[in-house]
Amino acid sequence: MPDNPQDSIERRNGIFFALSDHRVLELAGRDAVAFAQAQLMNEVAALPEGHWQWNGWLTPKGRVIALCALVKRDAETLWLVLPDADPAELAAKLQRYVFRSKVKLTPRDDLFVAGAFRASDVAIGDAIADGAAIELDFGGEGGARTLRIETAPAIEDADALARWKACDLAHGLPRLPPTQAELWTPQMLSLERLRAFSVKKGCYPGQEIVARTHFLGQVKRGLALFDADGPIEPGAEVHGDGNTPLGTIVSAVSVGDQHLALAVLPLERNSDAFSVNGMRMNERVLAGGLAR
- Specify the amino acid at residue 126: D
The pLDDT of residue 214: 85
Mean pLDDT of the 267-292 span: 94
| Weakest-pLDDT range from 2-6, 9-13, 220-224, 258-262 | 2-6
Domains and CATH numbers, the chain: 5-170 (3.30.1360.120)
Q: In the structure, what pLDDT confidence band is assigned to residue 13 with cuts at 50, 70 and 90? A: low
Q: b/e per residue, 179-214, with b = 16+ CB within 10 A?
A: ebbebbbbbbbbbebbbbbbeebeebbbbebbbebb
Mean pLDDT of the 66-87 span: 98
Is 221 a residue whose pLDDT tops 60?
Answer: yes
The pLDDT of residue 4: 44
247-258 residue pLDDT tens:
999 999 999 999
Q: Of all residues in the chain, what percent carry a pLDDT higher than 90?
A: 88
Sign of CA dihedral 109, 36, 136, 214: negative
Is 12 a residue whose pLDDT tops 60?
Answer: no
Mean pLDDT of the 112-137 span: 96
Q: Which of 201, 199, 180, 166 is nearest to 287 (CA)?
A: 166
Query: Which residues lie closer than 8 Å to 282 by C-beta, 6 or more apart?
Result: 226, 227, 228, 274
Mean pLDDT of the 104-117 span: 98
The pLDDT of residue 14: 84
